[in-house]
Amino acid sequence: MPQDPSARMHSISDETERVVDRVLDASRRRILLKDVPLDKPMTPADLARLASGSISPGGLGDARALALFEHVLAPACISVDHPEYLSFIPSAPSKAALAFDLVVSASAVYGGSWLEGAGAVFAENEVLHWLAAEFGLPEGAGGVFVQGGTIGNLSALVAARARARRVRRSVGAAMPESWVLVCSDEAHSSVASAAEVMDVELVLAPADADGRLRGEAVREALLEHGDSVFAVVATAGSTNFGTVDHLESIAALKDEHDFWLHVDGAYGLAGILTDQTRGLFRGVERADSVIVDPHKWLFAPFDACALIYRDPLDGRIAHTQSAGYLDTLNQADEWNPSDFAIQLTRRPRGLPLWFSLATHGTEAYREAIGACVRLAREIADEIRTRPELRLVREPDLSVVVFEREGWAMADYERWSAGLLEQQQAFVTPSSHHGRPVTRFAIVNPRSSVEKMTAVLDTMR
Ligand SMILES: *Cc1c(COP(=O)(O)O)cnc(C)c1O
């Protein structure tokens, strides 16, 4: 065995074989676990007491480091793939996708350029092209998997503004004093964050009583702000309610106005894959850019957002970085994923989804998404039968928002903490127009109506 500690890290020896075996065994245990524990956070003081001191000159050795993770650190993290994790937007990766994520890491592929990662990039593009076709985008549509919806939205909007600037410049027109971005007040917080980063003005067009942004409201914003508007963001599945904006009437405005339509479908656009909800997305085929997060409702592990441009050249012009050492990449007319978003080095993070799709086929995806929609409808029916509960809105997709008569935020908080303490479920309070509510966000086909019903029983 080599004695030099640095050589030990990269050599193939009995010792490294043991490390790899232990790590793969631990992964196998976790991926194949029948009853995933829900788990819960620990205080910083408790973690400091139980887990401090792991970084040392000589190292703990793999057995102790792994035991620390399995027995102390991991149990202090809530399992997002637990079927009764129903807060925020959970994640329910397929076993194939989870396992293949290990292969992606092990294969040491640089996913930023065709030169370095052609095979991986080809496979990622197969997935992007399949998604684009499902959305009804034209043949040439394409893009890249980025870290998450926040970066996807920002990258798309930066490309939108770059195009608006080019158009202005090409006709010799002056730039507006301030570029305007239009969305509804139910749009995700990352849209406001993008506006902040880009230093553009955010105009909130009012949604209708159902929380749906419609063409009429967008038209008013377009008339008021004229061609300062460089983009309109429509939400295809709001995070709090799963409400899909009326894409068709918003897209129809393109006949009269020149703006970039970005569809933020981070959570909800996956719903286009099942007949039960496909109709809600009519109009998405006219988008200039869309995002959907496979780590939300497409059964892939963290982290992955599919960002797709109608015309990928718009993304490429906006995002290609140039530097002496990169010129060799940029001169060739090759598909370099890094050129389509705010990023350079990237993991081929679309591959776990690719592998799982290639393994199971697209029908399995349609069925699993359909199962979540059915679960949402069944539990909404159950909520309707209970006099102390009120459904706040009819679910469009797989988020069910409801309230308990007479409860204040403090009641929801106490109840939610109790559920987690009992390890029964992770369901957190939310709010709507200042009223406390709670919600079930269902992206796991293994969530059960019985267990969600048992959660409702705790609200009596
Ligand atoms: C989750 C979400 C985002 C942000 O995505 P991240 O992957 O968390 O960055 C953006 N838009 C919507 C509608 C979302 O639900």
- Whole-number Å distance, alpha carbon 182 to ligand 1 midpoint, is 17
What confidence score (pLDDT) does residue 423 get? 98
Give span(s): CATH 3.40.640.10, the chain.
Answer: 102-360
Q: Which of 80, 238, 247, 264 should be mutated for ligand 1, with most atoms under 8 A from CB? A: 264
Question: Ligand 1 in contact with 190 (CB < 6 A)?
Answer: yes
193-197 own/partner pairs: CB under 8 Å, 24+ apart: 193/150, 193/154, 194/150, 194/153, 194/154, 194/157, 195/157, 197/154
Measure the CA–CA gap between 153 and 297, rounded to whole angstroms.
17
Residues contacting 275, CB < 8 A, separation 6+: 366, 370
Query: 102-360: what CATH class?
Result: alpha beta
Contact between 373 and 446 (Cβ < 8 Å): no
Encode the chain (460 residues) as per-residue pLDDT tens digits. Answer: 456 878 889 999 999 999 999 999 999 999 999 999 999 999 999 999 999 999 999 999 999 999 999 999 999 999 999 999 999 999 999 999 999 999 999 999 999 999 999 999 999 999 999 999 999 999 999 999 999 999 999 999 999 999 999 999 999 999 999 999 999 999 999 999 999 999 999 999 999 999 999 999 999 999 999 999 999 999 999 999 999 999 999 999 999 999 999 999 999 999 999 999 999 999 999 999 999 999 999 999 999 999 999 999 999 999 999 877 777 777 778 999 999 999 999 999 999 999 999 999 999 999 999 999 999 999 999 999 999 999 999 999 999 999 999 999 999 999 999 999 999 999 999 999 999 999 999 999 999 999 999 999 999 9
pLDDT at 3: 66
Is 445:368 a contact under the CB 8 Å cutoff?
A: yes
Half-sphere exposure of 329 (CA within 13 A, CB side): 21
Q: How far is CA 338 from CA 107, 113, 130, 294, in A?
A: 19, 7, 20, 19
239 CB near ligand 1 (under 6 Å)? yes
> What pTM did the predictor assign?
0.97
Ligand 1 midpoint to CA 388 (Å): 32
pLDDT of residue 20: 97
Domain ranges in the chain with CATH number 3.90.1150.10: 362-457
Q: Which atom of ligand 1 is nearest to the CA of 150?
A: 9
Superfamily of domain 362-457: Aspartate Aminotransferase, domain 1 (3.90.1150.10)
Q: Is the CB of 305 under 6 A from ligand 1?
A: yes
